[in-house]
Amino acid sequence: MRDAQADGAMKALAVAGNYVVLLGWDLPQDQIRSEKILGFAIQRKRKRDGEVIWLGGMKTFEAIEPHPAQGVMFSSFDHPFQTFQWADYSVSPDQKYTFRIVAMGGEPGDLEPKFEVTLKVKTERVTKGKHAVFFNRGAIASQEYARRFQNKKPSEIGPAAYEWLSRGLIEGLESYIDQTKAGDRLRGAFYEFQNTRIFDRLEAARGRGVDVKILYDGDSAGEQNTEALENQAIAPVTKPREHSGGFAHNKFLVFIRDEEAKQVWTGSTNLTENGIFGHSNNAHIVRDETLAGQYLAYWNLLDRDLTLSPTATQVELQNLLPVLPENTDTETVFSPRSSLTALDWYADLAASAERGLFMTFAFGMNGRFVKTYDQIDNVLRFALMEKKGNGRQYKKQAAEIDRIRRHPNIVVSVGARVALNNFDRWLAETAQVSDDAHVLYVHTKYMLVDPLGPSPTLVVGSANFSEGSTNKNDENMLIIRGNGPVADIYLGEFMRLFTHYSFREALARQTAGTPPQTWKPNFLVPSPAWIDGFGPGSSYYNPGTDRFLRRLYFSGQ
C-alpha cells in the first residue's frame, strides 16, 4: 500500500510492505535554509493499540550528546534524521499506521516543528491471495542481533534466535507442508536439502498419507545432502539429480490435490541452516493452478535425470519466454536452455527501466548488466551484491564495479559487517550462523523494474542472472507484472538490506587503517549545511547526483 501527501511545500510518500514501511519526503532548499531545518523527526502511531513512538537513530548532535553509548538509539525528535529517506523495519503485517514526518528547525537542544506531512498506510498481509512473500532477516550481521543475542551463534541461544532470524520463512514452509492431507502429493527440487526440521515436517506429511518425492543436487552438493539424509525417515522418497550440466540449483515444492497442481513454493532459499537463518533469502508462494502445473511438468522432466542437452531441449519446448511488455500476469522461465536468449531477455528488461532498477547479484555482475548499469542518465540503478566478483576474474570484475558505481545515478552496496572495537559507538557484529558458510550476506536473486511506477515488473527465483544459471543449471524464475502490493514488499525488503549493508561498507572504508585512539565518530551537522553533503557530488539539490535523484524518486516525484 502507498500513500502520497503534500502540505504546502513539503511532499512525502509512504510505501508499505509487510514488515517494512519506506518513507521519502522533500522540502525546497530555500525553506530548509531560511527556517534552519536541522533534519526530520518521524512519529509513528499504531492504530491497533494507539501506541505512539518517535523513530530513532544512532547519530547525535555533539553539543547535546557527545559520548553516545554503544548501540543506543536516540529519538529523532531531539536528534532528527539528516536525510530525505528513512524506513521503519519494526512494523507488523496487516496493521494500520500513521506516520508524521516533521521538519525540525532551530538550534540543537532547542528544536521545534516547522513543517510536517502525515501519511496513513496499512501494511500488507504476508499472504496476498494468489501470492505469499517471505523474507528471512538476512542480517545476522546487525546491531539488533548483537543487542539481543550478544553475537552468540543461534545454536547456543536456541529457538528465540532462530525465530528472529527466520522472520517467518521456515514457519511459512512448515505451514505450506502442513496444509496437505491424505491423497495429496508434494513434488520438490532443492539444491541443498539438509534441514532436519523440514525433513520431519515432510515425514509427518507422509504419515498423514501424503505422497512425497524430493529431488536434490547429487553432484556439487551431493555429499552434504547425502550425509544430511543418512538415517532420516524421509530418505527413501528422495533422489539425487546426478546428470545436470551444472548445478541442480532449484528450490521449489509443488502442492498437488485431486490430481491437479494447486500451488508452488519457490525462491532463493536452500534448506540449510545458513540458507534459512544466515544470509538473505526469500520464498514466494503462488496459488495458481496453471503456473503450478508448469512447475509440475518441469519437475517430471527433472525426475527423468537426463543430461544437459536433452533437458535443455525439453525445457524450451515446454517453456517459451514471456512476451514483453504486454502480459501482466505471473509467468515462468525455467533452465537449462540451449542458448543465452533468456539471459538476454533479462538484460533487455533491466535496460527498459525508465526511473528505477533494483537488482541483487550474489556472485558478481554479468557483463550484460554491467552495460545497463554503465550509463549516466536520470534512471536510478541500485545493485545489492554479496561481493563484487567471483573466481579468477575477481579483481577485474571488482574494478569494473568500482568504476561504474562512481556514476552519479548508480548506487551499489556490497555485503559487510561492523567489526569495530570498544572505541566507537557501534557493537561488533558476527558474520555467520555457522562456521561452514559459503555465502555470508546476500543470496537473493531478483530484479525490480520501475517498482514505484504504474506497472512494476518483478523477476525472482533461484537463478543468479548469469550464463551458468541460464544454459547449465536447473533453475526457475517467476515474472510478475503489474502487481503493486507485491512490488512494494520486494522494494521495501531490497532497501532494508541495501541500506543495512551500504552503511557497513562505508563504515569499513572510513575506518580502514585508522588507529583506535585517533578514530572519531560522525555527528549530526548543527546547521542547514547538512543538505550540501561533503561537496557538489553529495548535495541533495545538485541535479545529477544520486542524492538528488533519490530525493525525488522516493518522495513520489
All structural domains of the chain: 2-125+521-551 (2.60.40.10), 127-506 (3.30.870.10)
Please tell me the predicted confidence (pLDDT) of residue 514.
58
Closest CA to 410 of 369, 454, 451: 369
Q: Are 254 and 264 in contact (CB under 8 A)?
A: yes
Rounded CA separation 190/171 (Å): 18
Report which secondary-structure segment, H or E, holds 297. helix 289-303
Please tell me the predicted confidence (pLDDT) of residue 420.
55
Please tell me the predicted confidence (pLDDT) of residue 387.
86
Please tell me the predicted confidence (pLDDT) of residue 513.
59
Q: Which residues in the chain show pLDDT less than 70?
A: 140-141, 324-328, 417-439, 507-521
Please tell me the predicted confidence (pLDDT) of residue 394.
87
Count of residues in the chain: 557
Global pTM? 0.94
How far CA 7 is from CA of 118, 187, 222, 256, 354, in Å, comes to 9, 54, 60, 52, 28
Q: Helix (H, G, I), strand (E, B), or coil: what is residue 242?
A: coil
Rounded CA separation 227/194 (Å): 8
Q: Are 80 and 57 in contact (CB under 8 A)?
A: no
Report which secondary-structure segment, H or E, holds 331. strand 330-335
Residue reference for cell 492504530: 47
Cell of 549: 535523484
Q: Are 341 and 335 in contact (CB under 8 A)?
A: no
Q: What is the DSSP letter of 67?
A: S
How far CA 329 is from CA of 70, 290, 322, 457, 459, in Å, comes to 48, 11, 10, 10, 12
Closest CA to 418 of 430, 408, 404, 402: 430
